[in-house]
Copies of this chain bind each other. A is one copy, B any other.
C-alpha cells in the first residue's frame, strides 16, 4: 500500500498544518534553489540544452531563471533544473546525498507560471515539502544499495518528487496522485557514471520534466498502477540494487520525521564529500596568512578523509571546471591558495592555473574508515620541517554547522550578482526570501 499511502498523505498535506521548522526549511530550500538556478543559467551545459531544444519550444509561459525570457513549462523545467545543479552548489539531504529541491522546484515553479490562476507562496512551499518528503523517503527506502549500484539518486527519486509537487498544484485526488507517482516511477533517470559530464545536471532537469509530465497525464485520467512502488516488479524492487527496500518503514514516518529539515546547503560548488577538506583548507589559508607563512613554504599537505571522498572525488588532474568538482585536490588547493572555493574558483581558467596546479600536486588524501563523512584531519608540512594541523569535526554546511540565513543570502548575492546585475540582485533576493508571504508567486518570478 506504499504508493497509495504516499499519495494519500501528499494530497492531504495543507500549508497551515506544516510545523514552523518545516516552513522555514522549505523557504530556505526554495531560496537557495533559485540562487543556484540563476547562478548556473549562463553555464555552457544549460546553454547547449537551450540550443538543442529551441526548435521544440511551445507557448512561452514559464521563466528561464536568470535569463529574462520564457519558454513552455516543460522546457523551463528542463533548463532550470540543469542550471540549478550544474555548479554542484545546490542542497543536500545528507542521509541519502539527494539534492532534493532541484527536480521538485524546477517542475513546480514552471507549472505555477503556466497555470492561469495565481498561486500563494504558502501553497508553493507546501507542494515543495510534499515533493521533497516523497523523494527523500523513497530514497531512504532503497538506500544505500540503490546508490551503490550506480543510480544518481537525486534524479531517480526526483521524478517522483516532482510529480507529487505538481500533482498537488493540480489538486489530484488520491487515486490520480497514485497514478502520477506510478507514471513518474517508470521514468528512472540518472546514473553516476555521468558525473563530471553535462549529463549529470541533465538528470535533474529531466527528472523535473518526468514529474511534470506524469502529473499532467494523471490529471487527464491516465492510469498506471496503484502499487507502482511496492509491487513485485515495481519501482522499489527494480531499482533497489540488490538491497531489500524498506518502503513501509519510511512511509510510516511521513509527517512525523520531516526530511526537509535535514536538508543542508552547500557552501562550495562541488561534491559535498570533499567539503570538510575545503573548509579546513580555507581556515588554514587564514591561519597561514595570520602567521605570515607563504604558500611557497608548503612542501606537502596530507588529508585524512572519509572513504567516500576517495571514491567520489579523487580526480588527480582535473582538466576543467566540471571535472574539478570531483577533485578534492582542486578544492583543497583553491581553499588553501585563495581562501575561497566559490563558483569563480571552479572556472576552467582557475583549474588550469599553474599556481593552483602546483599546490594541488602537493596534496595527498588518504582514506580513513574511522572518520565521519563530514570530518577530516589536515596536516600542512612546511619547508622548515614544521607542520600545521587542522581537525574539522563537522564541515560548514553540515547539520551541526548549518549555513546561517546570512550565509545563504551572501551565497545568493555572490552567485547571482553578475547574472541579474548588482543593482537588482538585492531586490530579487528580498522578494524570494519573502516568497512565503506572497499572494502570487508568478509575480515574483516574472522576468527574473
Which of B206, B220, B233 is close to A192, meaning CB atoms less than 8 Å apart?
B233
B202 touches A182 (CB 8 A): no
User: Residues of B contacting A409 with CB < 8 Å?
Assistant: none
Scan A60-95; emit 1 where CB is below 8 A from any B CB, else 0: 000000000000111000000000000000000000
Q: Does A190 contact B (CB under 8 A)?
A: yes
Which of B58, B186, B206 is close to A58, meaning CB atoms less than 8 Å apart?
B58
A197 touches B219 (CB 8 A): no
Chain A residues close to B by CB (< 8 Å): 45, 48-49, 51-53, 55-59, 72-74, 114, 149-152, 182-183, 185-194, 197-199, 202-203, 206, 213, 216-217, 219-225, 227-228, 231-235, 237-238, 241-242
A235 touches B191 (CB 8 A): yes
- Alpha-carbon distance between A191 and B55 when the two chains are bound, in angstroms: 31
Which of B149, B197, B216, B234 is close to A193, meaning CB atoms less than 8 Å apart?
B234
Given contacts A58-B58, A149-B237, 12 further A-B contacts (CB under 8 A): A45-B222, A48-B221, A56-B74, A150-B237, A182-B194, A186-B189, A191-B238, A193-B234, A194-B224, A197-B223, A198-B224, A202-B222
B186 touches A222 (CB 8 A): no
A197 CB to nearest B CB, Å: 4
A55 touches B48 (CB 8 A): no
Which partner residue on chain B sits nearest A191 by CB separation? B186
B231 touches A48 (CB 8 A): no
B222 touches A198 (CB 8 A): yes
26 contacts between A and B (CB under 8 A): A48-B220, A48-B221, A49-B220, A51-B220, A52-B216, A52-B220, A55-B59, A55-B72, A56-B58, A150-B232, A150-B234, A182-B199, A185-B191, A186-B202, A186-B203, A192-B233, A193-B225, A193-B231, A193-B235, A194-B225, A197-B223, A197-B225, A199-B223, A199-B224, A202-B222, A238-B241
User: Residues of B contacting A241 with CB < 8 Å?
Assistant: 238
- Alpha-carbon distance between A47 and B152 when the two chains are bound, in angstroms: 33
Name the residue among A51, A56, A150, A187 with the largest chain B CB count within 10 angstroms. A56
Which partner residue on chain B sits nearest A240 by CB separation? B149
- Alpha-carbon distance between A192 and B216 when the two chains are bound, in angstroms: 22
- Alpha-carbon distance between A189 and B159 when the two chains are bound, in angstroms: 12
User: Residues of B contacting A242 with CB < 8 Å?
Assistant: 242
User: Residues of B contacting A206 with CB < 8 Å?
Assistant: 187
B57 touches A217 (CB 8 A): no
User: Residues of B contacting A192 with CB < 8 Å?
Assistant: 233
User: Residues of B contacting A191 with CB < 8 Å?
Assistant: 185-186, 228, 233-235, 238
User: Residues of B contacting A194 with CB < 8 Å?
Assistant: 182, 186, 224-225, 228
A271 CB to nearest B CB, Å: 15
A227 and B186 contact, Cβ closer than 8 Å, known pairs A48-B217, A55-B59, A216-B53? no
